[in-house]
Structure 1
């Protein structure tokens, strides 16, 4: 059912590795961003509460969101087993081409097990290099593919490399998508060393943080159990991105990014 690791290292994974060499200056997205605390505070003062049922109140509890980009892939079922065992929800930003359309049963499982299914474009093109019609195509094709499998279109998206601008924001608004960046990255595209991935995440962990990992790289999924265990010991509660900003609701077109402590 799944591709071999050798095959998986080609195609999309190779493109992501090449793109990663350019990436990840989060301050350079060039648009205003909203923190999880801002979203919660705005809902409290304006009464714009979202519909997310909260298991915890992240204004009172030290929350952190675990997110995975660019899947699903052959390691995603194992990751889902880990998350189920640890009783940890996550947010999955899925690629359409060669991922959503290759592993529909995994996409359905992600949704059925209570994780947040989100959009990471169709083919990982850098959206700021595209015109509005091309951005719309990259996002809407994945919206449609996910809806066909799960019955629900995503409400969140993550632009490849975190690169966004006014055009991307406007198209996202039209499609009902809020943009979600991150504050913690293991740069797992650059190493297969699970211990190093764990170390990088734990060194950066903070309340209201959003962790960026990829479930398509060999070192990542093996690092997840110990990351979860250690962060729980430190008093963190794992939540999905919508839970992180609740009672606020992710507003289409807006860009959400935590501030580090």
Structure 2
């Protein structure tokens, strides 16, 4: 694993790496990509037990009325779009990018009844056309400051925790995924973040 990929650096004013809250306390934001997945109920149980809010960026192709989306909203979490089917948007034409984002936003809204305001580009890849499409649709483009690299760490959930804890800073948005190893690491991750004096906030 390349540890240099853990901390994301960008001066692009059109994307968000930190939460914008003006809290007097140190905060971080947990975000989960690539759902809704089978492990979502387990993740929600942990978040509920720990009283931690989180943001879920979903591929709209995976969202069906039977998924536990209602619970996500009822328990105080946020839902954003992670595109329709996780295509690398920079490989699409401007019109295709707009169509993808519009389709994903409308599908999530039609099922949940809640406006979608947050967008995370698949693979963290975007260009000026991605940003323009997001703005036209009223979406804020959210990346991350800290990547847990959890998708590479199926057998090493403890490394997921280390990647985050060793790079904590106030306001950081943390990238996680709806994966079994992430669910396994999550209670310990929450505990260690709290031990460092941080609270959890939404975007």
Pairwise same-fold verdict (TM > 0.5) = yes
Quote the residue 2:55 is aligned against: 91
- Taking the TM superposition and a 5 Å limit, the aligned residue runs for 1:6-17 are none
- Taking a change above 3 Å as real, the CA distance of residues 136 and 104 of structure 1, as seen in their structure-2 partners, is farther
- Taking the TM superposition and a 5 Å limit, the aligned residue runs for 1:1-261 are 26-27=8-9, 32-33=14-15, 36=18, 57-58=22-23, 60-97=24-61, 99-101=62-64, 104-192=66-154, 193-215=156-178, 217-241=179-203
Higher helix residue share: 1
Structure 2 distance, partners of 1:124, 1:35, is 20
Unaligned runs of 5+ in 1: 1-22, 41-56, 242-261
From the CA coordinates, give the structure whose radius of gyration is larger.
1
Shift of residue 105, structure 1, vs aligned partner? 3.0
Please state whether the residue corresponding to 1:204 is helix, strand or coil.
coil
Structure 1 distance, partners of 2:148, 2:100, is 26
Is contact 1:31-1:164 (8 Å) kept?
A: no
CA deviation vs aligned residue, 1:61-101 (integer Å, no higher than 9, x gap): 1010000000111110010010001000000001111x213
Is contact 2:144-2:172 (8 Å) kept?
A: yes
- Taking a change above 3 Å as real, the CA distance of residues 104 and 117 of structure 1, as seen in their structure-2 partners, is farther
- Taking a change above 3 Å as real, the CA distance of residues 165 and 123 of structure 1, as seen in their structure-2 partners, is same
Quote the residue 1:244 is aligned against: none
Unaligned runs of 5+ in 2: none
- Taking a change above 3 Å as real, the CA distance of residues 232 and 62 of structure 1, as seen in their structure-2 partners, is same
What value does the CA root-mean-square deviation take over the aligned residues? 2.2
- Taking a change above 3 Å as real, the CA distance of residues 104 and 133 of structure 1, as seen in their structure-2 partners, is farther
Please state whether the residue corresponding to 1:117 is helix, strand or coil.
strand
Is contact 1:198-1:227 (8 Å) kept?
A: yes
Structure 1 distance, partners of 2:200, 2:13, is 28
CA deviation vs aligned residue, 1:152-201 (integer Å, no higher than 9, x gap): 12100000111112111111011110100101111111111211111111
Shift of residue 146, structure 1, vs aligned partner? 1.2
Structure 2 distance, partners of 1:24, 1:226, is 19
Q: Count residues in correspondence.
A: 198
Is contact 1:108-1:149 (8 Å) kept?
A: no
